[in-house]
Amino acid sequence: MRPSILSRPPSTLRAVDVLSPRSLEAALLLKAERPDAVPIQGGTDVMVELNFDRGRPPTLLNLNEVEELRGWSRENGTVWLGAGLTYTEAMEPPLSELLPALAEASRTVGGPQIRNRGTIGGNLGTASPAGDAIPPLLVGDAQVKLVSLRGERVVPLHEFIVGPKRNAMSDDELIAGVHVKPVSGRETFMKIGPRNAMVISVVSLALRVDGDVHAAFGSAGPVPTLVRASTDDVHTLPERVADAASPIDDVRGTAEYRRHALRVLTKRALERCLA
Amino acid sequence: MSAPAREVVLGRIGEVSRRSDAVPKVTGEFAYSSDLHAAGMLWGHTVRSPQAHARIVGIDTSRALTMPGVHAVLTHDDVPGEKLYGLEFRDQPVLAIDRVRYFGEPVALVAAEHPEQARRAAEQVRVEYELLEPIVDPERATEQAPLHPDRPTMGRGYRDDERPNVVRSLVIRHGDPDARGDVSVSGVYDVGIQDQAFLGPESGLAVPDGEGGVDVYVATQWLHVDRDQGAPCLGVAPGQVRIRLAGVGGAFGGREDLSMQIHGSMLALHTNRPVKIVYSREESFVGHIHRHPARILSEHRATREGRLVCVRVRVLLDGGAYASSSTAVTSNAASFACGPYKVDNALVESLCVYTNNPPCGAMRGFGAVQSCFAHEAQMDKLAAALDIDPVELRLLNALESGDVMPTGQVIAGKLPVAEVIRRCAALTPPEPEELPRDPLRLPGGSGNTTRGEGVRRGVGFAVGFKNIGYSEGFDDYTAARVRLHRTADGELSAEVHCAAAEVGQGVANVILQTARTELETEDVVLAAATTSAVGSAGSASASRMTWMAAGAVQLACRDALAEHRRTGSDVDLERTYRHPRTTPLDPETGQVTGERAHVAYACAAMRVVAEVDVELGLTRVVWIGTVQDVGRAVNPSAVEGQIEGGTAQGLGLALMEEIQTRDGLITNASFTDYLIPTTLDMPPVASELVEDAEPDAPYGVKGVGEPPTVVSTAAVVSALRAATGRELARVPVRPDDIVGL
Ligand SMILES: Cc1cc2nc3c(=O)[nH]c(=O)nc-3n(C[C@H](O)[C@H](O)[C@H](O)COP(=O)(O)OP(=O)(O)OC[C@H]3O[C@@H](n4cnc5c(N)ncnc54)[C@H](O)[C@@H]3O)c2cc1C
């Protein structure tokens, strides 16, 4: 991380417009008109950026009053998660039984206040390598639904996230939500942090055994990454997960530790899900 | 707690006394210094160096001055009086003059109508730097070009060490330092930079009085020393700077040095408007001093039976860019290097150097934390080498009253080391919890990383001790003023003035409890702490404030009562209390030159149970039991609070708290990356008190704030060693160290 104190780009003081549409249609109209408007849902990433003075968007597009983005439902054998679904909601049954790894991941996010405000859509919008919702969604073969006045398109999650903090969304688009396959076998999520709560992950892993084995890790490369295996070659999976990672040394941990931990986590996750 | 305490809202000495700030702090209504407001106030902002070491080629303020809302942009040229200040040595520029020596050093000041305008204008102050090679390796600092060629700490009675960049070097020779034992163990121990990480960032409000003086409302630890440092720089008489204590959000040593006091006053006097300055979190991390990082080399020689024969220690402390209180930390680290044990022969060398790393100074434990980590690791190592129980080994060597310290000082007061060890060893930790368990109750916590795989349990033990009060001849005192009158219905009523800083430790209650006890009335109020109403209280540091404030208030109350009884009229008097005199250490031998170099000592023992996931390097501290020597508990629930808080701070250093730097630049100046323990990291603490009255102290009190921090880092790591079998010679312990990468 670069020390940031007082090496910021100069900017001048100006007011921020906040637009609060009450329907998805209105939101899309506004987004088409003001493509530089930054969507804000829980604000747990956006407000941090603002407070740290890392960016000053001319306009915020407040999505909190857009009912269509909220909640979750079952749709033709998949689970639909609205972009505005909070971590607290993801931790509650029956959703937590359909997507247990997402529930476990949600439990690791921040503290109660952050879990009450922070959303799945916001986590995808930020597209951080450390985004904790992403590995569980990857193992659930999540399909991201993007909407705009031009229509809608569905992008597989691993294609949606294109780089560290970069996603495939266009300026006029919003994330409506994701379709995820509910688990039929078992799955789990684990996250390592330097303390026992409220941490950005040093490394994380989601693993689903559902016929095949799907593992996805976070914080060990530029993007959360999915690794697949058949149940016959699970013994090589810990090594393959570690090999797929391209971790770095940073203030939170060393690359060597991250690779080591991925091996241990994968081994333990397999034991949990195959037992 | 040792004795069941009676719950009394007001309370006298020894009773549970509920704190008036407790409810407002919990409900969020407490007014901290960052909540201050004055009509027409401006906001100040500090322009800081983005470099660790550079020559200032030029400062151009012209653009910033034209920014909207800006009222003033000031540089070192605008410092009205002395350009340098310092807690003990004037080596630090109010605003950098021709060079910057650390990352975040103040260079210029801005005042504007709105905080955002001030920040924006600060970005427009153009400072041209010519980079200089930073001194970042303390091991090499004494061979590099001096950061302070005029050697500000020399000629003050310390050993004259000619090498460049020496802040202080101290050698203690005791007995025959070459004495050999049957066995010897040695180790090299490292301590990272810990931050006080108080939750209330530095903040305050400076209000010009229209007559050239200024009232400063600020969160600080020592009002009068702020005044005495500030007035010469502002070019005014001390009485023209009135420091008033504003709501303090934690201090832990980090508010001993000045933050916004002079800066805010300069802006206020320049603009003739009240000026408020509030540091951001990032700025707070770079804007105050930290705990000294240390490298300690130790060798312990003992007989086959386990008696210590000779201890040899070398301590290297990185003081950073300015002296702050480093000379006293150097001495403390040396004083306590051998631990609370009888050692007939010792050689202790303690050296603190200037570097371009973050400046270091006072933090809870003050040199003893680093030493304790090393000497307790050594005692565990020695116990293993001799195959003696670690508790037995400590008992065998325990110091007691009447024993001689390596400095030659005979321990005149109470030091019940054996008793705290014995009682602590008798505390029973809980049985291991059954599996399966909620992951929150396993190493890794909410991360759900284990269901029991890789988890091993370890029990650790440590003993630590520290001085109470200022040492080495410092003329330390506390003043208290009492105004006494009889109300219409004949009751005694009192108002007490004392400038002791209430930093959350509960000294306000100590003052009130003392006055109520002495005056035998409940009708006592404590006036706001200010330099204008009473003499200095000294610093809320060094575990001294309870002792000193109780001493001063007791003295003033007794005299006031006597005078009231004699004259029958209202009384208003001020008294100054001094503890027994201390004297300096001999600069060549490190031996006491009088009866004592330290006023008194306090000790604590701690037992820790930890579970460690040895495959992932994650830890859950399960239980902590501690027995502390407190002299006398003035307010038992406040003592318990100090023990728990102090323990958490030491646990933080053991497991996670570290300021990280690269070439002198801090890379984790935020609570995202500088982690402090959460409630899931901190276990319940079973505490017992040894109340053995200290002879020279009012009511027999000793300070209680630091011993828990001193001992807990060592005790937690001892438990981790027991669980992992690894040496773990560095704190904070990293997962890599546990795993063995
Ligand atoms: C104290 C703290 C602790 C945290 N801990 C964790 C943690 O443990 N794990 C973790 O993963 N994260 C953590 N975070 C980060 C954050 O909480 C998560 O990323 C969260 O999911 C963001 O959701 P939000 O609704 O608050 O997003 P917002 O801040 O509202 O938005 C985030 C981004 O997504 C965009 N966006 C939001 N909704 C939409 C939409 N419908 N369409 C298009 N773009 C959209 C926004 O424009 C922005 O770019 C933490 C944050 C804080 C402050």
Mapped to the 3 state alphabet, what secondary structure does A14-38 carry? CCCEEECCCCHHHHHHHHHHCCCCE
**Residue among B114, B448, B669 minimizing CB distance to A191:** B448
Pocket-testing residue among A19, A28, A31, A44, ligand 1, by greatest number of atoms within 8 A of Cβ: A44
Which CATH topology does A67-180 take? 3.30.465
In chain A, what are the domain boundaries?
A: 5-62, 67-180, 186-274
What pLDDT was estimated at residue A12? 52
Measured at the alpha carbon of residue B362, what is the angle toward residues B336 and B260, in degrees to the nearest 5? 175
pLDDT, tens only, B185-209: 999 999 999 999 999 999 999 999 9
Dist CA B194 CA B653 (whole Å): 6
- Which region, left, alpha or beta, applies to residue B657 given φ > 0 means left and ψ of -120 to 50 means alpha? beta
Distance from CA of A190 to the nearest CA of B (A): 5
**Distance from residue A115's CA to the centre of ligand 1 (Å):** 10
Dist CA B511 CA B497 (whole Å): 9
Which residues of B fall within a CB distance of 8 Å from A192? 444, 447, 449, 616, 618, 735
Q: B104–A199: do the CB atoms touch at under 8 Å?
A: no
Dist CA B588 CA B158 (whole Å): 8
Omega into B106 within 30° of 0, i.e. cis?
A: no
Which residues of B fall within a CB distance of 8 Å from A13? 68, 114, 116-117, 120
Q: A7–B50: do the CB atoms touch at under 8 Å?
A: yes
Res A10 pLDDT > 50:
no
For CA atoms B686, B711, B455, A102, the dihedral sign is: positive
Distance from CA of A29 to the nearest CA of B (A): 32
Q: B454–A8: do the CB atoms touch at under 8 Å?
A: no
pLDDT, tens only, B687-704: 999 999 999 999 999 999
**Distance from residue A137's CA to the centre of ligand 1 (Å):** 15
Tokens of B63: 């653009």
DSSP string covering B101-151: -STT-EEEEEEESSHHHHHHHHHT-EEEEEE------TTTGGGS--SSTT-
CA-based nearest residue to A192, from B615, B516, B624, B628? B615
**Distance from residue A175's CA to the centre of ligand 1 (Å):** 13
Q: Grade residue A53 by pLDDT with cuts at 50, 70 and 90.
A: confident
In chain A, what percentage of residues exceed pLDDT 70? 95
Instruction: Please name the residue that has the structure tokens 């920040």.
Output: B119
Q: Which domains are delineated in chain B?
A: 33-132+201-248+255-287 (3.90.1170.50), 148-195+294-368 (3.30.365.10), 387-468+598-739 (3.30.365.10), 477-578 (3.30.365.10)
Q: Looking at A24-163, list the stretches that DSSP marks H as alpha helix, in order from N- to C-terminal side.
A: 24-33, 46-51, 87-90, 95-98, 100-108, 112-117, 120-126, 134-139, 157-160
Q: A190–B681: do the CB atoms touch at under 8 Å?
A: no
Extract long-range pairs of B230-234: CB within 8 Å, 24+ residues apart: B230/B85, B230/B258, B230/B261, B230/B262, B230/B265, B231/B81, B232/B81, B232/B82, B232/B85, B233/B79, B233/B80, B233/B81, B233/B82, B233/B83, B233/B84, B233/B85, B233/B94, B233/B262, B234/B80, B234/B81, B234/B262, B234/B265, B234/B266, B234/B269
pLDDT, tens only, B527-542: 999 999 999 999 999 9
Q: A196–B656: do the CB atoms touch at under 8 Å?
A: no
CA-based nearest residue to B383, from B718, B720, B739? B718
CA-based nearest residue to A146, from A125, A130, A119? A125
Q: Grade residue A56 by pLDDT with cuts at 50, 70 and 90.
A: confident
Res A8 pLDDT > 90:
no
Distance from CA of B104 to the nearest CA of A (A): 8
Which residues of A fall within a CB distance of 8 Å from B673? 1, 200, 251-252
**Residue among A196, A261, A271 minimizing CB distance to B620:** A196
Strand partners, B468: B600
CA-based nearest residue to B502, from B554, B537, B476? B537
Give B659's DSSP letter: B
Segment B3-9 shows an average pLDDT of 45
Instruction: Please name the residue that has the structure tokens 């090679």.
Output: B133
Dist CA A141 CA A179 (whole Å): 8
Dist CA B12 CA B277 (whole Å): 38
Which CATH topology does A5-62 take? 3.30.43
Q: B120–A11: do the CB atoms touch at under 8 Å?
A: yes
Dist CA B282 CA B673 (whole Å): 11
Segment B700-721 shows an average pLDDT of 98
B167: three-class secondary structure by DSSP:
strand
Contact in structure between A230 and A212 (CB atoms under 8 Å): yes
Dist CA A274 CA B339 (whole Å): 52
Res B9 pLDDT > 60:
no
Give B240's DSSP letter: G
Segment B542-547 shows an average pLDDT of 98
Res B400 pLDDT > 60:
yes
Distance from CA of B43 to the nearest CA of A (A): 15
Which residues of B fall within a CB distance of 8 Å from A189? 448
Average pLDDT, chain A: 94
Interface test mutation site (partner A, options B66, B357, B616, max chain A beta carbons within 10 A): B616
Which residues of A fall within a CB distance of 8 Å from B672? 200
Residues 6+ apart with CB under 8 A from B355: B134, B135, B136, B137, B138, B141, B147, B165, B318, B319, B320, B321, B664
- CA of A41, closest atom in ligand 1: 30
Measured at the alpha carbon of residue B207, what is the angle toward residues B204 and B213, in degrees to the nearest 5? 120
- Residue B256 main-chain phi, psi, to 5 deg: -70, -45
Res B32 pLDDT > 90:
yes
CA-based nearest residue to A185, from A133, A216, A140, A144? A140
Burial of B210 (0-12, 13-18, 19+ CB in 10 A): exposed
Res A5 pLDDT > 80:
no
**Residue among B620, B660, B741 minimizing CB distance to A251:** B660
**Residue among A8, A188, A197 minimizing CB distance to B445:** A197
Distance from CA of A75 to the nearest CA of B (A): 30
What pLDDT was estimated at residue A275? 83
Sheet holding A174-180, edge to edge: A72-75, A78-82, A174-180, A143-148, A151-156
**Residue among A7, A52, A108 minimizing CB distance to B446:** A108
Residue nearest to atom 22 of ligand 1 (CA): A122
Question: H-helix or E-strand containing A237?
Answer: helix A237-244
Out of 2.130.10.10, 3.30.390.50, 3.20.20.70, 3.30.430.20, the CATH code matching A186-274 is 3.30.390.50
B504: three-class secondary structure by DSSP:
coil
Res A3 pLDDT > 80:
no
Q: What ipTM was predicted for this assembly?
A: 0.94
Measured at the alpha carbon of residue A97, what is the angle toward residues A94 and A100, in degrees to the nearest 5? 135
Contact in structure between A61 and A94 (CB atoms under 8 Å): no
Give B360's DSSP letter: B
Segment A123-145 shows an average pLDDT of 98
**Distance from residue A82's CA to the centre of ligand 1 (Å):** 14
Contact in structure between A195 and B656 (CB atoms under 8 Å): yes
The C-alpha torsion from B16 through B20 and B26 to B30, rounded to 10°, is -160
Q: How many CA atoms lie within 13 A of B669 on its CB side?
A: 27
What pLDDT was estimated at residue B5? 46
Strand partners, A152: A147
In chain A, what percentage of residues exceed pLDDT 90? 91
Which residues of B fall within a CB distance of 8 Å from A47? none
Strand partners, A215: A207, A227
Q: B673–A252: do the CB atoms touch at under 8 Å?
A: yes
Strands B241-245 and B275-278: unpaired
Res A6 pLDDT > 80:
no
**Distance from residue A173's CA to the centre of ligand 1 (Å):** 17
Q: Which residues line ligand 1 (CB under 6 A)?
A: A 38-46, 48, 63, 69, 83, 108-110, 114, 117-119, 121-123, 125-126, 131-132, 174-175
Instruction: Please name the residue that has the structure tokens 């149970």.
Output: B609
Q: B668–A251: do the CB atoms touch at under 8 Å?
A: yes
Dist CA A136 CA B390 (whole Å): 47
- CA of A132, closest atom in ligand 1: 11
Residue nearest to atom 7 of ligand 1 (CA): A109
Q: A6–B50: do the CB atoms touch at under 8 Å?
A: yes
Question: H-helix or E-strand containing A163?
Answer: strand A161-163
Contact in structure between B351 and B166 (CB atoms under 8 Å): yes
Dist CA B645 CA B655 (whole Å): 15
- Which region, left, alpha or beta, applies to residue A65 given φ > 0 means left and ψ of -120 to 50 means alpha? alpha
Q: A53–B655: do the CB atoms touch at under 8 Å?
A: no
**Residue among B116, B454, B735 minimizing CB distance to A13:** B116
Dist CA B381 CA B186 (whole Å): 8
**Residue among A5, A10, A257 minimizing CB distance to B48:** A5
The C-alpha torsion from B438 through B440 and B445 to B447, rounded to 10°, is 60
3-state secondary structure B464-484: EEEEECCCCCCCCEEEEEEEE
**For residue B476, what are the CA distances in angstroms to A199, B323, B539, B589, B593?**
44, 20, 9, 25, 18
Q: B117–A13: do the CB atoms touch at under 8 Å?
A: yes
CA-based nearest residue to B166, from B135, B133, B131, B196? B135
Contact in structure between B69 and B44 (CB atoms under 8 Å): no
Q: B656–A195: do the CB atoms touch at under 8 Å?
A: yes
**Distance from residue A42's CA to the centre of ligand 1 (Å):** 7
User: Taking the mean position of all CA atoms in its chain, how far away is CA A208?
Assistant: 17
Contact in structure between A263 and A238 (CB atoms under 8 Å): yes
What pLDDT was estimated at residue A15? 82
Contact in structure between B543 and B515 (CB atoms under 8 Å): no
Q: Given this chain, do its domains A5-62 and A186-274 carry the same CATH topology?
A: no
Distance from CA of A224 to the nearest CA of B (A): 17
What amino acid is encoded at B158 in this protein?
Y
Dist CA B197 CA A106 (whole Å): 28
Average pLDDT, chain B: 97
**For residue A104, what are the CA distances in angstroms to A97, A137, B162, B400, B449?**
11, 12, 60, 53, 11
CA-based nearest residue to B718, from B457, B376, B300, B333? B376
What pLDDT was estimated at residue B350? 98
pLDDT, tens only, B265-304: 999 999 999 999 999 999 999 999 999 999 999 999 999 9
